[in-house]
């Protein structure tokens, strides 16, 4: 199946810690970074452009920060950015669900995401899955990790 250009893609703003997040997800989830654009790569606005709220000239501190990146995790594309680098990234009201094919992989992935994070619900059996756990990783991104329940005996 061809990926659709109309697919919903989560866009996460790490508020200045995007490079760190990309490195972490590459290690913890075998994420593949597809492309990275830095603020210094953007062309300057036309002289007659109206300034946008919260946007100004790229400062030397912002130049190397991630303006936009595309990362693939287990076949799903995420967009990520440093955003405005205010230092207070918040990921409230949303969780990323990650279904792993085996209990062992679910446990390993949960442990990797938990490194420096906050376990919200320890990994364990659930009525709807063989294993289920919830964790906010070190960046505050909430993950729900599962492995499928065994098929009922026929």
What is the rounded CA–CA span in Å between residue 109 and residue 107?
A: 6
Query: In the sheet that 66-73 helps form, which strands lie side by side, from edge to edge?
Result: 11-13, 76-81, 66-73, 32-38
CATH class name, domain 1-89: alpha beta
pTM for the whole structure = 0.84
Instruction: From first to last of the 154 residues of the chain, give the pLDDT tens digit.
Output: 455 566 889 999 999 999 999 999 999 999 999 999 999 998 877 777 766 555 556 778 889 999 999 999 999 999 999 987 777 788 889 999 999 999 999 999 999 999 999 999 999 999 999 999 999 999 999 999 999 987 776 6
Residues 6+ apart with CB under 8 A from 103: 130, 131, 147
Model pLDDT, residue 3:
52
CATH class name, domain 90-154: alpha beta
Domain ranges of the chain: 1-89, 90-154
The answer to whether 1-89 and 90-154 have equal CATH topology is no
- Report in angstroms the alpha-carbon separations of 34 from 8, 28, 37, 72, 115: 17, 17, 11, 7, 24
Angle at CA of residue 149, ends 135 and 77, nearest 5°: 50
């Amino acid at each position: 199946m061809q990926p659709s250009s109309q697919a919903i893609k989560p866009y996460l703003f790490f508020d200045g810690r995007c490079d760190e997040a990309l490195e972490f997800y590459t290690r913890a989830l075998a994420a593949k970074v597809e492309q990275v654009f830095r603020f210094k790569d953007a062309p300057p606005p036309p002289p007659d452009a109206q300034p946008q709220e919260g946007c100004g000239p790229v400062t030397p501190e912002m130049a190397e920060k991630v303006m936009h990146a595309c990362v693939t995790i287990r076949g799903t594309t995420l967009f990520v950015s440093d955003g405005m680098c205010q230092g207070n990234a918040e990921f409230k009201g949303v969780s990323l669900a990650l279904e792993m094919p085996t209990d062992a992989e679910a446990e390993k992935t949960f442990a990797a995401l938990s490194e420096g994070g906050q376990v919200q619900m320890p990994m364990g059996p659930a009525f709807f899955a063989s294993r289920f756990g919830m964790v906010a990783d070190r960046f505050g991104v909430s993950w729900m990790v599962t492995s499928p329940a065994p098929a009922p005996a026929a």
